[in-house]
Amino acid sequence: MAAGIDDITIYIPRLYIDAADFAKARGLDPEKLQKGLGVSQMAIVDTNQDPACLAANACLQIMQKNKLSPEDIGRLYVSTESSFDESKAMNSYVIGMLEQVYGQGAFEHCGGVETKFACVSGSYALYDNTNWIRAGEAEGKHALVVVSDIAKYDMGSSGEMTQGAGAVVMLLNDEPRLLAFDPKVTATSIKDEYDFYRPFGKETPIVHGQYSNLLYMIQVRKALEIYKKKALASGLMKLEPGETILDHMDYLNMHLPYSNMGKKALAYLVRHEWRQLPRWKKIIQEMGIPEPVPKDPRGTIESVLGDEEFMAKDHEFTKLFTKTREFQEVYEAKLASSLIASKMIGNLYTASLYLGFRSCLEFEYQKGIDLNGKRIGFGSYGSGSSAMVFSGTIQPQYEEIVKNMNLEAELAPRRKLTLQEYEILHENKLSPEESMLHTKREFVLVDVNTTVESRGERRYIFNE
Ligand code: COA
């Protein structure tokens, strides 16, 4: 049975900070953000928004767009790493908000949980719900998987350049108009790590950014190796001599903590895949330098990072490699369109990969490419750490959805924050009723209870 993504909708907060303003305030070269990281704007939440609001707004949009009633929804999952309760799942807040519009008890029949594993949990939620559909348990109902996050880092930290906020919701069913997941190829890797984590009670994460970047690439590559075995064993792909698995993916959508990380990850995977192929010899000849080899052949993250000489040479090699015509062709054809939205919005943690997917569809379609039957490979990563590699094929009815995508129109009207306003918001100095914007027809947070007996209870309204 086919199962996959029928429709996708985004909800992005209307406030943002501009990378150039931010760089100026922090004494950084704006080029570091714009060219080095690929960050132009970062979406910021208002005082009356939390990740549950973002998720509920995205859900309402997709339901209204598709004229769905709560009866049509069998499962509602929320994946996030911006959770504000250790026990109550975020999907229950979302259901509470949706019931303000659809009537109390309207979603009573619906199941679901909040899932957590840093930025990868949305991919696990998609996989589990796809299998719920494949197993015939859905009985004609749809699943909603919402990925919603606020990427907030300590003021003055290097992570502060890679913030953002927003939610992406995907409607799953057995007749998906957008993308059917390829069966029996989903591959995972997992390892106990401390590259990025957020201990109880702390609003911002503890991040070892460079370590995390490298771990992301290593873990995704491990998952890709497993994917490769499964894709060949299941007959999904057949490699001719001189081919790699990546030649059989028309697009690659990667986890994007910032847009240039997608390019780094692509370069890493491509290098490893091409190394054994005749084309690699030609590229090395053209580049005129040998590919560096780490002193320790085990290639563990500790040994690689400890080998400073190798790291420096490898960095240089990667920079040169990404400038080769061969890499540029792969980059432009398979990845570049997926990075556009990330540059304008920033890091969405769990939602970053799916914002990239949405961006890929819109901007590839705008090139006039017929997307029917194209295969998208997904490289999902969550710190802590786990990676998931899977794929899907764009379906014949995709145009019905993609032709109406218009990122710029959906983001508008946006309001640029001054750095002073941004810092006030960052330090949580204002209450929900002191919001910067007064939005209409959206769910907003009204207050968070501070009494002993009801501490933490949140109240939301739908702003008519
Ligand atoms: N002009 C152009 N490019 C510049 C530049 C300038 N003036 N200054 C630096 N750059 C480039 C660097 O060469 C580097 O490019 P490269 O990655 O191709 O080498 C890039 O900008 C970033 O610079 P770097 O010095 O590596 O940045 P940093 O160490 O200060 O911080 C992160 C970068 C990403 C590590 C940091 O922002 C971070 O930790 N973010 C959070 C990441 C995250 O959330 N990870 C979690 C899970 S995946």
What would the pLDDT profile of 335-381 be if each residue is shown by its tens digit?
Answer: 999 999 999 999 999 999 999 999 999 999 999 999 999 999 999 99
Rg (CA), the chain: 22
pLDDT at residue number 297: 86
What is the C-alpha separation between 146 and 149, in angstroms, rounded? Answer: 10
- Residue 464 CB coordination number (10 Å): 5
What is the C-alpha separation between 365 and 377, in angstroms, rounded? Answer: 17
pLDDT category at 160 given cuts 50, 70, 90 is very high
pLDDT at residue number 299: 80
Residue whose token pair is 């780094």: 264
- Ligand 1, atom 37, residue with closest C-alpha: 159
Q: Residue 96 pLDDT > 90, yes or no?
A: yes
pLDDT at residue number 60: 98
What is the C-alpha separation between 379 and 120, in angstroms, rounded? Answer: 9
| Residue to mutate (ligand 1; options 34, 42, 158; most atoms within 8 A of CB) | 158
Do residues 166 and 148 lie in contact, with contact meaning Cβ atoms separated by under 8 Å? yes
pLDDT category at 19 given cuts 50, 70, 90 is very high
What is the C-alpha separation between 47 and 254, in angstroms, rounded? Answer: 31
Q: Residue 144 pLDDT > 90, yes or no?
A: yes
pLDDT category at 258 given cuts 50, 70, 90 is very high
- Residue 118 CB coordination number (10 Å): 22
Query: Average pLDDT for residues 69-94, to the nearest whole number?
Result: 98
Looking from the CA of residue 205, the nearest atom of ligand 1 is 44
pLDDT at residue number 298: 85
pLDDT at residue number 239: 97
What is the C-alpha separation between 241 and 243, in angstroms, rounded? Answer: 6
Query: Average pLDDT for residues 88-112, to the nearest whole number?
Result: 98
Q: Residue 133 pLDDT > 90, yes or no?
A: yes
pLDDT at residue number 1: 82
pLDDT at residue number 207: 97
- Ligand 1, atom 11, residue with closest C-alpha: 36
What is the C-alpha separation between 233 and 242, in angstroms, rounded? Answer: 18
Query: Average pLDDT for residues 409-437, to the nearest whole number?
Result: 97
- Ligand 1, atom 3, residue with closest C-alpha: 36
Q: Is 36 exposed, middle or buried (0-12, 13-18, 19+ CB in 10 A)?
A: middle
Rounded distance from Cα 63 to ligand 1 centre (Å): 38
How far from each other are the two terminal CA atoms of the chain, in whole angstroms? 41
Mean pLDDT for the chain?
97
**Ligand 1: residues whose CB is within 6 Å?**
29, 31-32, 35-37, 158-159, 161-162, 196, 207, 209-210, 212, 216, 257, 264, 315, 381, 383
The percent of residues above 70 in pLDDT, for the chain, comes to 100
| Residue to mutate (ligand 1; options 26, 32, 210, 313; most atoms within 8 A of CB) | 32
Q: What is the DSSP string of 234-251?
A: TTS--PPTT--GGGG-SE
What is the C-alpha separation between 52 and 61, in angstroms, rounded? Answer: 14
Q: Residue 300 pLDDT > 90, yes or no?
A: no
Q: Which of 80, 61, 66 is nearest to 142 (CA)?
A: 66
Do residues 255 and 357 lie in contact, with contact meaning Cβ atoms separated by under 8 Å? no
The pTM score is: 0.98
User: Taking the alpha carbons of 399, 170, 379, 248 in that order, is the dihedral positive or negative?
Assistant: negative
Q: Residue 184 pLDDT > 90, yes or no?
A: yes
pLDDT at residue number 364: 98
Q: Which of 223, 214, 197, 213 is nearest to 117 (CA)?
A: 197
Q: Residue 288 pLDDT > 90, yes or no?
A: yes
- Ligand 1, atom 9, residue with closest C-alpha: 32
Do residues 378 and 391 lie in contact, with contact meaning Cβ atoms separated by under 8 Å? yes
